[in-house]
Structure formats: C-alpha cells, structure tokens
Amino acid sequence: MENLKKLKTWVQESKRIVFFGGAGVSTESGIPDFRSVDGLYNQKFDYPPETIISHSFFMKNPEYFFRFYREKMLPLGFSPNITHKKLAQWEEAGKLTAVITQNIDGLHQKAGSYRVLELHGSVLRNYCMKCHKGYSAEYVKNSQGICRCDCGGIVKPDVVLYEESLDSQVLEKSIYAIAQCDLLIVGGTSLTVYPAAGLLRYYPGHRLVLINRDETPYDNQADLVLHESLGKVFEQLP
Ligand code: NAD
C-alpha cells in the first residue's frame, strides 16, 4: 500500500515525532470509544452522556454521575496494545517528543511512555474537593453512591468534564510540541471535541498523518490519510 510505505519512510526519517490520539487508540485494548457504532454515545441512558459528564450535572446530581462513571468511564484492568507500545519504543529511541492524548485511561504510561500530555486528565488521579487528599481509581470504583473522602468531602476524578477548561500548562506544552515536531501523527480521534481538535492548526509542517477508521473533518487538511485500524498500521511501522 502506497500510503503505508510513505508513512514508514517518514517515521524512519523523523527525529521529533508527535502523536496526537483519542479514544480509538484504546479500542484495541478493549475500551469502547464514544462515537463508533458500538460506542458510548449509541447506548441509551436517561440523559445524553455529554450531560452526565458535565460539571453542572456532577455538582447537581453526583450520585447519578458516579453510577455512570463507575460503570462506563473507569477502565481498570486493561493492557496497552501495539500502538501504545510502539509509541513508547519511539520515545525510548529518542525519536518521539510527545504523546498528546485525549484519553483518560493511563495506558500510554502503562506501556512505558513518559512524555505524555493528558489533555482531559486521568481516572488514575482523584482528589477530595474539600481537603485535596488523593485517592486511587480502585477507591473510586469500590465506593458506593457518592464517592467521599475521610473528611466527608466529595472525591472528584481528575478528568476534564464538559464545561470545564483544560489545564493551561498541558495545553501550552502540547502546542509547543506540535509546533516543533517534524512528523505529526493523529490517530483514533473523531476530531470533534474542542479545544483539543483545534491543536492541529499549530503544526507548521507538511507531514500531517491521519490514521482513523472513520472519516474526520480534518481529512482534507492532512498530507496522508489512512482509514485503517491503528493496530494494523502500527504493527507494520519500524
Ligand atoms: P471518539 O469516540 O469521538 O472517536 C474515536 C474515533 O476513533 C472514531 O472516529 C473511530 O472511527 C476511531 N477508531 C476507533 N477505534 C479505532 C481503531 N482501532 N483504529 C483507528 N481508528 C479507530 O473519540 P475522541 O475523539 O477521543 O473523543 C472522545 C472523548 O472521550 C475524548 O475526549 C476522550 O477523553 C474521551 N474518551 C476516552 C476514552 C479512554 O480514555 N480510553 C474512551 C472513550 C472516550
């Protein structure tokens, strides 16, 4: 396949690769994404998922939030797949400067990546809203009803909910990494969640690669598009 051959060459030639990914990176580890046919948005709940995982809903109806969150958004016990692993190998080899992820599952770190910028936070960090004591994801998973701290405060997962803003330092580091990279690979994201999707405009080069099963609104701006599963592509990359 011509496109894959080109991508292999670009990977070989690059010294500052940045990978920007979304939920599709972890589907091959068994964690469902949001917008595929079998994703979270096509299942039926009392409220749309965007409503339940919004800041105002969390504040008004924390018990319902935690029920949904524990069942649908707390991916524990999953393992990294070939995409996570290869990215970690590129970092170790000194040819990848950052993984920017919209995922909250911690699988890049589990695969051995250190330079991970988590735009939407992580389920692995949870803090009491009153005294700021930290708690594990297992603590949240095993709690009943509203997850509470020893002090009685609510324990809030360190994930960015709808209506909340992104961490400005993570955002700045992501912009810097994208502006400096020589190959930007974007994969497993519908590129519909903002401001994350808008980061692509900071790439000044001519090696923007999109790997996604479905089409995205940015396909026509990319230098190379592969409508493939990430695992199939990454297992063939150097
Ligand atoms: P999305 O669900 O909107 O889009 C996922 C995209 O990945 C789809 O376009 C789909 O075609 C593609 N895809 C799925 N599996 C793939 C594969 N194996 N290979 C190639 N492409 C594949 O996801 P998004 O754009 O990341 O936005 C959803 C939001 O939900 C994100 O902000 C993310 O934080 C959150 N989320 C995270 C997780 C997680 O942490 N694993 C899971 C679900 C949702």
3-state secondary structure the chain: CHHHHHHHHHHHHCCCEEEEECHHHCHHHCCCCCCCCCCHHHCCCCCCHHHHCEHHHHHHCHHHHHHHHHHHHCCCCCCCCHHHHHHHHHHHCCCEEEEEECCCCCHHHHCCCCCEEECCEEEEEEEECCCCCEECHHHHHHCCCCCECCCCCEEEEEECCECCCCCHHHHHHHHHHHHHCCEEEEECCCCCCCCHHHHHHHCCCCCEEEECCCCCCCHHHCCEEECCCHHHHHCCCC
How far apart CA 216 and CA 16 sit, in angstroms, is 24
Number of Cβ within a 10 Å radius of residue 151: 10
pLDDT at position 36 is 65
Give the pLDDT band of residue 52 (cuts 50, 70, 90): very high
Number of Cβ within a 10 Å radius of residue 104: 24
More confident residue, 42 or 169: 169
Query: 195 pLDDT exceeds 90?
Result: no
Amino acid identity of 209? V
Q: What is the mean pLDDT of residues 173-183?
A: 98
84, 108, 120, 206: the active-site residue: 120
Residue 120 annotated as catalytic: yes
More confident residue, 70 or 41: 70
Ligand 1 residue neighbourhood (C-beta within 6 Å): 22-24, 26-28, 31, 33-36, 39, 75, 102-105, 120, 188-190, 192-193, 212-214, 229-231
Give the pLDDT band of residue 72 (cuts 50, 70, 90): confident
pLDDT at position 39 is 66
pLDDT at position 166 is 96
pLDDT at position 161 is 97
For ligand 1, atom 26, name the residue with the nearest CA.
Answer: 22
Query: 112 pLDDT exceeds 70?
Result: yes
Give the pLDDT band of residue 38 (cuts 50, 70, 90): low
Atom of ligand 1 nearest to the CA of 26: 41
pLDDT at position 99 is 98
Query: 209 pLDDT exceeds 70?
Result: yes
The reported pTM is: 0.95
Query: 235 pLDDT exceeds 90?
Result: yes
Of the given ranges (33-42, 64-73, 78-87, 88-97), which has the lowest mean pLDDT? 33-42
Query: 135 pLDDT exceeds 70?
Result: yes
Give the pLDDT band of residue 88 (cuts 50, 70, 90): very high
pLDDT at position 41 is 67
